[in-house]
Every structure is written in structure tokens, then in C-alpha cells.
Amino acid sequence: MSSAQQLLLTALRCDIDNLDHLATTSEIVGDISHFIHRLQRERGASTIYLASKGKRFSTRRKEYLKHSQEAETVMRQRLETLTEEARPQAAARLLRRIAAVWLALDDLDTLRQAIDSFSISPDAATQAFNHLISGLLAIVFEAADTSADPDITRTLVAIFHLMQGKELAGQERACGAFGFTHGHFDESHRELLNRLVHDQQRCFDTFVEFASPEAQLAWQQVLSQQTLAGINQLREVACQHARQETHADNTLGETWYELTTLRIDNIKAIEDTLNTQLTALCHRKIAHVRATLEQAKIPPSQSPLPPCEQLLALSDRQPLGDLTASALTSPLGRSLIELAHAQSSHLQGLSDELENTRKALRERKLIERAKGLIMAYQAMTEEEAYRFLRKTSMDQSKSMADMAQSILDLSVMLKHKEQKHTR
């Protein structure tokens, strides 16, 4: 066997090792997905349990806690496969992420004991769950970032954004459950609710961009319009509580929880399908490379190429343009690109921050001027004028700045009409 053929066989074996690692990673992603889903349920139930002082969801929380522990055990066993046989292909960043999460998992029992004894607030408990789930999602992100196969990377990116969007939906469930059970949404919780709705939609849009046509079709079909309508109605109710101190029907917390849970479970069904497709994709690629390896072991039957034609064949197989493209995607090339991108992002961030500050000042001036007009023409106090402006902007699906500009434009038109009428 020639040295060239030996090198080719070695390269194919490296490909198989890489794909084996990706297959293991995809199975870890599936276990993390399952564990996160269980933790999300436990988080929502714990929020209602704490907000109701233990009067609601006591039994259900214990059930969800048991499910979380079972999923954690399975996930830990899978993660241990990386510690037992950590190959060079398992990037250091991925292993560090797993190590950090492993340490955080050891504090999970402490959090649960604090919930049992009511020595932690609903918001603080939610934040603790959020941090743990964020760490678990970071493992999925690193898995996508360390993948060298474009098809597998694309699938991992789709899964990551779907999981991230589902996590934001879970945070929305916990936030809404607290507000409805507590009987009141303060300003910070209303703002959080609106931000979570916006951010999860951005994640779902990215998921659709990277998902396969089959996954996109499943996404369109699995979400019940009736469920979404019910959730949107309760979202509006939460915003309306801005004008109310309390509301008597705090059983809305359970209604909200059931509706949002149904939606999250539907998203989880798509997530499970994607994880199954990812595992199948990894094994198909492994089988293909193994077949190529077996074929490469067979000595070539054709006569060797005439002198100089090996050089010509080499240039045919790897055109210079392809070499340049490969250099851009190599680890060194990616590092240089990432460095330049980081510097550019830093400068752009400073510019954006300055522009955002200027924009905020302009919008504040518009809102203050519009409030003055409302106070003058409607005989309202400053607080009443602000609430009126905010409600009008929500009713018309506009930002407060845009609504303020519309009021100012209208006042100018009315002044012109008055002047013409006086003449």
C-alpha cells in the first residue's frame, strides 16, 4: 500500500472519529432537550407554588420534580461518556461548558429546598432556573459551533434556536403564572412579558430560516390557532392590569399555565423530531464514510496515470478557488475572521449605543411634548396623560414615540385649520 493511500485511509478514519463524536454530541443534545423541558415545567409549577404560598400546584410540583430528577440522571450518564473518552475533537470550550453546568447541577437541590421552605421569592427562584437552563443551552450552542459538517451544523443551529425560543416561552409562562396568581402585574413584569414575546419570535424566525422543509411544515401545522388565540387574549389581560391594582380571579394563573404548557409541549414535539433527524443524519454520514473507507482499501485496478498527469489531476480535483474558500473556513481562517469581526462588532456597538442614546432622548422629548398637549386639551394630570398615551399606542400597535409624533402632527394640522377659520 502506497503512502498516499495510507494517508487517505487515515483521513477517512479521522472523518469517522469526528462523525462518531458528533453522533455522541447529538445524543447529548437530545438528553439536554428532554431535561430542559422537565426543568421548565418544574420552574412554572414552582412559581405558582411560591406565589400562592403553597396553596396551588403542591402535588403537581412534586410530580414535575421527580420527572426532572429522572431526566437529569439520564443526561448525567450521557455526559460522562465525554469525560471517560474525551477525544481531541471534543473542543475545550464544549468541555468547559459541560463542567460549569455540572457544578451548577450540584446546587439544584439547594434551590428546591429553598422553595420547599418558602425562603426564596418566586422571581429569585425563576432566575435560578433560568441561569441553569441558559447554561444547558450554551452546551447546545457549543455543539453547533464545534461541528465541522455543514449539514449537521445547520440542523444543530435550527435545534438551538428552537430550544432557545421554547425556553423564552417557558420564561413567559413563569412570568405570567406569577402575575396572574399574585393578582397583579407591576410595570417590570409587564415589560418582561412583552420582551419575552418579542425575543422568542426572533428565535423562532431564525429556526425557520435554518430548518428543513419538513420541519418548517411541522412548525406551521403543530401550533393550534385556538391555543395561540387564548394566550394572546391573556397577554392583553396582563397589559390591561396596568390600570388596576388587583384582580379577583387569580385562578387565571392556572388557565395561563395550561395554555402556555400546551403550546410549549407542541414545540417540544418538533424539537424531538429534529433531534431524531439529527441522530439519523449523523449515522447516515458515518455509514457513507465507512463505505468510502472500505472502498479505499481496495488497490486501484487501473494503470497509473502517465507522468505529469498526477499534477494535472490534482489541480482538477482541488481548484485554486476552492482552496481559498477552504482557507476561510479553516480554524486559523475562522480565528482571524472572528478577531476582525469582534473588533468591528465592538466599534459598531459603540456607534449603536451612541445612536440609541440619541434616539431615546429624541423619543423622550416627543413623548413629553405629546403629554403636554394631552394635559392641555383633555384636562388630565401628567400621570393620566401618560397612561392615555400608552393605552392609545398599544391599541394602535404603535410605539409610544410614534404615537406621540402622530399626536403632534395632528395638533399642527388642527392649528392650521383654526388659523384659516379665523381669517
- Model pLDDT, residue 69: 93
- Model pLDDT, residue 327: 43
- Encode pLDDT of 217-271 as tens digits: 888 877 677 788 888 888 888 877 544 444 445 578 788 888 888 889 988 989 8
Distance CA 404, CA 411 (A): 11
Distance CA 223, CA 214 (A): 15
- Model pLDDT, residue 211: 87
Taking residue 211's Cβ as centre, other Cβ atoms within 10 Å add up to 24
Q: Which residues in the chain come in under a pLDDT of 50? A: 86, 88-89, 242-248, 320, 323-325, 327-328, 330-333, 335-337
- Model pLDDT, residue 8: 76
- Model pLDDT, residue 278: 87
CB 296 within 8 A of CB 9: yes
- Model pLDDT, residue 246: 41
CB 82 within 8 A of CB 27: no
Q: Which residues contact 350 (CB under 8 A, 6 or more apart)?
A: none
Tally of residues, the chain: 423
Between CA 114 and CA 121, with CA 116 as vertex, the angle to 5 degrees is: 55
Task: Say whether 290 sits in a helix, a strand or coil.
Answer: helix
- Model pLDDT, residue 88: 46
